Structure 1
Amino acid sequence: MTIPLPRRSGAVHAAGAALVAVALAASTAPAASATASTTGRDNSGQVQYVDCGAASGKENGSRNRPWRTLDQVNGLNLKTGSSILLKRGSRCTGTLAPNGSGRKGDPMVIGAYGSGAKPVIDGGGNPETLLLKNTQWVEAKDLEITNSGNPGRNKRGVRVQLQDFGTGTHYRLTGLDIHDILGDDTKGTEGSAGILFSVTGSAVPTKFDDVVVSGNTVTTVDREGIYFASTWNNRPVHGDYDPDGPAYLPSTRVVVRGNTLKDLGGDGIVITATDKTLVEHNRLDGFQRRSAGYNAGMWPWNADNTLFQYNEVSGGETTRDGMAYDIDEGTSGTVFQYNTSHDNAGGFFLVCTATGTLTDAVIRYNISRNDHYRGIETCSGSFDRVHAHNNTIYIGEGTTQTVINENTTNKHDITFTNNIIVKQGTGTATFNLKSNTVTLSHNTLHNTQNTPKNPNGTTTDPQLTNPTGTLPDALRLHTRSPALRAGTPVPGSPRRDLYGNRVGNPPNMGAYQGRGVAGPPRPTATGDVGNAS
């Protein structure tokens, strides 16, 4: 059977409020420390010590006579709740694929002992570097993971795989430094990635439950950064639906938090076949750098009720997507809030479906600065109930953007409300609307061209402050801004903005909901005059 893959080309307000409450509860899920050295239980062989630089001898896995190769560890039938501790400052080559698991209150821990730099596992060109297959109650932390050998081969840094397993519970990946995973240009359940959670097989309904991926760095990886994929993803909401394949069984209680990703060949963070996933406080800089396919920064596909918040994405390359964020096919209940985006060649946002469905999505209280090409782009298919409100899009000197770009006349049910669009300097900000199903109201559209009808809106300068400052502190409203309290209440809106200010009634236009800040507002550039519509 061909495994359906997410296509890359590419939720209501009331549901959004409920989703935030669920996600905030999920955000309290415990995560292992990403900084402290691992300590283990050294009784009855429960701790297996590994030092690949140790002198040969009669190894038995004790601290005095540690294992010297990963193959020695892989050959053990580990007791439930065993620890595997690699010596700091050491380097092991090959694949670590332990045979064991933990249990509630007694997880299997893979980590470090001693002092010094994190221990290195070098995959040596093999497909897997750290493989955790058909296990649960497992935690991996405080390791350096690399795999630059045989560049262009299908490979992964960390792969957590369940094959015909049932429900696997409790996975923690924390404090891992993953770099130079020089894989091929594939993605999916067998694709190349820094971190891959992979559900495979079709005989036993299988999913992940209770996953935390937190405080890791993922640098110089081809193709994917952090990717969740499953063969149990079949339902008619996406165009790759296979009625003869496994049914739909989403993974649950997934949190991806506080990770730093840089220099990725393809996508950054991709969530598929999950329900109520939380993706927050991640930083992505540099993606879609070496892939021939279509890739974006952070996005869900065929997943429900995903919340993306407090993330920052920059450095997307090419216009084969290349935008920071995407709400893709087969999704329902997606919320993007409190995120920032800047300097992406492909733009700010994609909302995309082709032959499947996409419903009930919310894009709110986000900031985009100097994203090129497009603000919000649609794909060839139709979708329903997408609400973009209270976002600030600043398009500075030398940047050109199509603020909303429809590439077909198909139905694109978007409401665009209380947003601020400011164009400054050379370049243009235009609209390309074709479907007559995009509804605008109460927006500030300053220095835009082909400006559509915008009831109760304005073209007046909103007086944004400090446009070149650090995000999100930049681009607030001045105390004299006409956008203060000029918006309209939006049902289901959160109580606060990304700065922590209370949302008023009526709200401000744009992402900033405070009373206004003192200081010099954005200066008017000579190029503004020529861009006025």
Structure 2
Amino acid sequence: MPWRSQAVRAAGAALVAVALAASTAPAASAAHASRDSSRQVQYVDCGPATGTENGSRDRPWKTLDQVNRLSLRTGSSVLLRRGSRCTGTLAPRGTGRPGRPMVIGAYGRGAKPVVDGGGNPETLLLRNTRWVEASNLEITNSGNPGRNKRGVRVQLQDYGTGTHYRLSGLDIHDILGDDTKGTEGSAGILFSVTGSTVPTRFDDVVVSGNTVRTVDREGIYFASTWNNRPVHGDYDPSGPVYLPSTRVVVRGNTLSDLGGDGIVITATDGTLVEHNRLDGFQRRSAGYNAGMWPWNADNTVFQYNEVSGGETTRDGMAYDVDEGTFGTVFQYNVSHDNAGGFFLVCTATGTLGDAVIRYNVSRDDHFRGIETCRGSFGGVRFHNNTIYVGAGVSQTVVNENTTERHGIAFKNNIVVKEGSGTASFHLQSGGVTLSHNDLVNTADAPANPGGTTADPLLSDPTGALPRGLRLRSGSPALRAGITVPGSPGRDLYGNPVGNPPNMGADQGPGIL
């Protein structure tokens, strides 16, 4: 994406360097090991088995079952030959340690090695392990379509705290699973905490630089049975208590053509989701699905993401602040051309609070800008966003579908409606308050003190985002906002936020 930072690119390059180093690790000393499982590097080149395989580079394993039967040394590598194709489940039994992770990757030259799940529930399964890194594989599983299955599953069951997980450079596609989600659901990438005896969680997880396409149901999903607290409707007071996973980063992934949700974060604290691109979701699921969202998770930050192509109005919006979440921040994101709209803020039968939605850009999102659902909430601050509704598109800017009170402060936003179609407000609870917004061609807006209906002079409405929809020189939105406590120092373009700020997402001086 055009606004990825140099730091993100550098981090991605570092992960690639680690994977390349692993793929060329010397095996001279391991070649003399007397027992196959004691080799430091296990090589795999799938084909007809001969009975003479020992996992060396000269005599690599020929089946995934041969690898799965090994009890690997701590810090071993399992490397698949580039250009090869293996069918079945890869489920290595081993672990790493600080400074010596277990590495699952590739060796040789050519295309990434393919692991085809062959219709099995798991394709790459990393179970009850830690200090593990997987990279540079192509993972697919189109056999037995409609059955419960996953591309990559990292599972901890009654394990305690597992630490250091890295998934990078994986090409995951055609995981044709069923329509389930959760700890046993179908997904491209699933981090799954199961069991109820030993308190269990993940710590230090990075999922970066992967592609996930044509998957049913979920793209990237984090789920845990250790999720019980009375802030969500599925609370079970007799179940495993709340134990969130920590230090989780989902960065720089590309997702497309998903049956259900894109990126879902549950039972975590302090997760960062950034620089991801999602195009095409809620395509085949009978359930309710959104692009990127947290559930029963605290202090989650979503930033510099782009979401488009959500289908249906059964949710189908780009982003969602869902029940059981506190301290959620959505900032510097782009949303466009989603049938379900821009944002859902939903408590259902639980609670949420302290949510901030700021400096985001929405273009031609249909149906609703912000949708609420049943249940009351407060402490939601929606400020300095730019919403553009072009010709042929209609949107309810804020749609309250119940009279239960929804506390939303709607400040410093720009909403522009142009061409055919409508933009309107549908408010029922009395909890949505407006101030200092620029609302152009909108209907049924409540009182908007400090606001205006003047043309904000947005640049290039149909151009590439986020560079389009910026303020032009002379815009009445320049320095016309009100200071919002706790605002960041800069906008998504890197401009400093003034005092007073501009209305909308762009805080620059105006472009010519």
TM-score range relative to shorter protein: over 0.9
- Give yes or no for contact 1:31–1:212 (8 Å, CA) kept in 2: no
- Give yes or no for contact 2:82–2:112 (8 Å, CA) kept in 1: yes
**Per-residue CA distance 1:22-57 (angstroms, 9 max, x = gap):** xx99x9799622896323352331000000037735
Q: Cα RMSD (Å) of the superposition?
A: 1.5
What secondary structure is seen at the aligned counterpart in 2 of 1:325? strand
| In structure 2, distance between residues paired with 1:131 and 1:55 | 23
| Structure 2 residue 508 is the aligned partner of structure 1 residue 514 | yes
| In structure 2, distance between residues paired with 1:33 and 1:492 | 37
Change (3 A) 1:34 1:461: farther
- Aligned partner of 1:344 among 338, 343, 348: 338
| In structure 2, distance between residues paired with 1:402 and 1:321 | 14
| In structure 1, distance between residues paired with 2:423 and 2:351 | 29
How far off is 1:452 after superposition? 1.2
How far off is 1:451 after superposition? 1.5
- Counterparts of 1:34-45 in structure 2, within 5 Å, are 37=20, 38-42=23-27, 43-44=29-30, 45=39
- Give yes or no for contact 2:19–2:135 (8 Å, CA) kept in 1: no
What secondary structure is seen at the aligned counterpart in 2 of 1:32? helix
Partner of 2:33: none
The more displaced of 44-53 and 136-145 is 44-53
Which amino acid in 2 is paired with 1:190?
A: E
Segments of 5+ residues of structure 1 without an aligned counterpart are 1-23, 519-533
Partner of 1:376: 370
Partner of 2:254: 260
**Per-residue CA distance 1:506-527 (angstroms, 9 max, x = gap):** 0000000000011xxxxxxxxx
What secondary structure is seen at the aligned counterpart in 2 of 1:291? coil
- Counterparts of 1:384-403 in structure 2, within 5 Å, are 384-403=378-397
How far off is 1:280 after superposition? 0.1
Q: Which has the higher contact order (CA 8 A, sep 6+)?
A: 1
Partner of 2:79: 85
- Give yes or no for contact 2:149–2:177 (8 Å, CA) kept in 1: yes
Which amino acid in 1 is paired with 2:241?
A: A
| In structure 2, distance between residues paired with 1:119 and 1:401 | 46
What secondary structure is seen at the aligned counterpart in 2 of 1:146? strand
- Give yes or no for contact 1:49–1:62 (8 Å, CA) kept in 2: yes
Partner of 1:300: 294
**Per-residue CA distance 1:272-300 (angstroms, 9 max, x = gap):** 00000000000000000000000000000
Partner of 1:531: none
Q: State the TM-score, normalizing by the size of structure 2.
A: 0.95
Which amino acid in 1 is paired with 2:16?
A: S
Which amino acid in 2 is paired with 1:444?
A: D
How far off is 1:160 after superposition? 0.1
| In structure 1, distance between residues paired with 2:51 and 2:200 | 42
Change (3 A) 1:240 1:152: same
**Per-residue CA distance 1:172-200 (angstroms, 9 max, x = gap):** 00000000000000000000000000000
What secondary structure is seen at the aligned counterpart in 1 of 2:248? strand
Partner of 1:169: 163
Segments of 5+ residues of structure 2 without an aligned counterpart are 1-6, 31-38
**Per-residue CA distance 1:300-319 (angstroms, 9 max, x = gap):** 00000000000000000000
- Give yes or no for contact 1:35–1:142 (8 Å, CA) kept in 2: no
- Aligned partner of 2:348 among 344, 354, 365: 354
| Structure 2 residue 381 is the aligned partner of structure 1 residue 367 | no
- Give yes or no for contact 2:12–2:208 (8 Å, CA) kept in 1: no
- Aligned partner of 2:208 among 211, 214, 217: 214
Partner of 1:56: 50
- Aligned partner of 1:273 among 267, 273, 280: 267
How far off is 1:384 after superposition? 1.2
Give the 4+ runs in structure 1 shifted more than 4 A. Answer: 27-31
The size of the alignment, in residue pairs, is 494
- Give yes or no for contact 2:49–2:63 (8 Å, CA) kept in 1: no
- Counterparts of 1:127-138 in structure 2, within 5 Å, are 127-138=121-132
Partner of 2:449: 455
Q: State the TM-score, normalizing by the size of structure 1.
A: 0.91
What secondary structure is seen at the aligned counterpart in 1 of 2:261? coil
- Give yes or no for contact 1:54–1:66 (8 Å, CA) kept in 2: no
Which amino acid in 2 is paired with 1:477?
A: L
Which amino acid in 2 is paired with 1:305?
A: N
| Structure 2 residue 138 is the aligned partner of structure 1 residue 144 | yes
| In structure 2, distance between residues paired with 1:251 and 1:33 | 25
What secondary structure is seen at the aligned counterpart in 1 of 2:67? helix
Which amino acid in 1 is paired with 2:349?
A: T
Which amino acid in 2 is paired with 1:410?
A: E
- Counterparts of 1:207-246 in structure 2, within 5 Å, are 207-246=201-240
- Give yes or no for contact 1:34–1:215 (8 Å, CA) kept in 2: no
How far off is 1:355 after superposition? 1.7
| Structure 2 residue 108 is the aligned partner of structure 1 residue 114 | yes
What secondary structure is seen at the aligned counterpart in 2 of 1:71? helix
How far off is 1:322 after superposition? 0.0
| In structure 2, distance between residues paired with 1:432 and 1:384 | 18
Percent identity of the aligned residues? 79
What secondary structure is seen at the aligned counterpart in 1 of 2:65? helix
| In structure 2, distance between residues paired with 1:467 and 1:451 | 23
